[in-house]
Amino acid sequence: MPVVHADMSGGQAIDLPGVRGRMERLEFASGIVLYRMEYEALDDCFVQVQNSFSEPWIGSALHLQGHSELAYPDGKTFTLTPDSALLMRVDPSGSRFHLFKGQLVRHVGVASTLAPLQARFDGQLPGRLALFTDNSFGDFQLGQSFSPSPRLRHLASNLFDNHAKGSTRLLKLEGIANLFLAEIIELFCEENPTKDRIVVWEDQSLSDIIAHIEHNLDGTLALSALANMAGLSENRLDQLFRQKFQLSCAEYVRNERMSTANRWLQSGELPVREVAKRVGYSHVSNFSRAYRARFGETPARTLRRATSRST
């Protein structure tokens, strides 16, 4: 299995042997560093990355699309997907991404050294960030995975669409990167409220509703109809979804529809209009807007890439 070495310190698109796409590192005066990666592995391979920091730092990572594995120098491995964000600090060089043949990876990472970040919090970082604030630099390695919010995914998609273009491109990218880091820190540091006890019949009702959603993505999946089917109030069903998935019922349905649409489009077997219909959209334009907000590209582009691979 080949190993592709990538220097991320250039601040511009980089062509990698064995990987089709781009990788970019942008450093801003505010101390924020933005990483944007968009590529497809032509074969199973590793992308090895050299750390460019020389002092303690905190970084974040999220795949807007695709999946890969990030291996630390000490051997710890983290799976990156659109449903698993990562807050991290890895001082030694030698981390590497394991890419899988045919996988399109659209990745966002935002990092900052501790000094400017601490200044933004009036000198006192949120409590949970203390995990990453070891003052010594050298061998420190830590990663914490957690579920991203719909807002975090939306900010990530903005880094790949029209918000990241034009004469004010760098100004826009810095603003979005700041919002992205703020959101991911807030998600990570937010204390979970004491969870209500879910009784057995409620848990079974929730499982039945999840199965119903999975098999009826082309149907009406309004909260009121689902609550009536489950024998629960709308508020209680929504509460159960938030408790179990950190998503509202509507957000869960939308996520399932978009994830399923993405799988169908990547198979290249169905036209966009048919995919839209199968996930409950009667208007292709509405489907395209929702898909782009989720994945940072139009469904037509995903389909073109899939069909070009099969020819």
List per-residue pLDDT tens for the chain, 311 residues long.
555 444 434 445 556 677 888 788 889 988 899 988 888 888 888 888 878 888 999 999 999 888 899 999 988 999 998 888 899 999 998 898 888 888 888 899 999 999 899 888 888 888 888 888 877 888 899 998 888 888 888 888 888 775 566 778 888 889 999 999 999 888 888 754 444 567 788 888 899 999 999 999 999 999 999 999 998 889 889 988 888 887 889 989 998 999 899 999 988 999 999 999 999 999 999 999 999 888 888 999 999 988 886 65
User: What pLDDT is stored for residue 294 in this prediction?
Assistant: 85
Biggest CA-to-CA distance, the chain: 58
pLDDT at 271: 95
pLDDT for the residue 16: 67
Give the ranges where the chain is alpha helix by DSSP (H): 114-120, 150-158, 169-189, 200-215, 223-230, 234-245, 249-267, 272-278, 284-295, 299-310
CA distance 109 to 27: 12
> What is the reported pLDDT for 111?
94
Q: How far apart are alpha carbons 183 and 185 in whole angstroms?
A: 5
Q: Three-state DSSP class for 79?
A: strand
Please provide the size of the chain in residues.
311
In terms of pTM, does the model score above 0.85? no
**Strand order from edge to edge, sheet including 45-49:** 3-6, 45-49, 95-99, 68-71, 77-80
**Residues 115 and 103: beta-carbon distance below 8 Å:** no
Cβ pair 238, 196 in contact under 8 A:
no
pLDDT of residue 163: 56
pLDDT in the model for residue 105: 87
What is the reported pLDDT for 147?
82
pLDDT number for residue 134: 77
Cβ atoms within 10 Å, residue 46:
19
Query: Smallest Cα–Cα separation from 91: which of 111, 121, 105, 69?
Result: 111
Q: Report how far residue 153's alpha carbon sits from residue 82's, in angstroms, rounded to the nearest whole number.
A: 8
Q: Tell me what pLDDT residue 194 has.
A: 42
Cβ burial 175-199 (10 Å sphere, 16+ → b, else e): ebbbbbbebbbebbeeeeeeeeeee
**What structural domains does the chain harbor?**
3-189 (2.60.120.10), 200-310 (1.10.10.60)
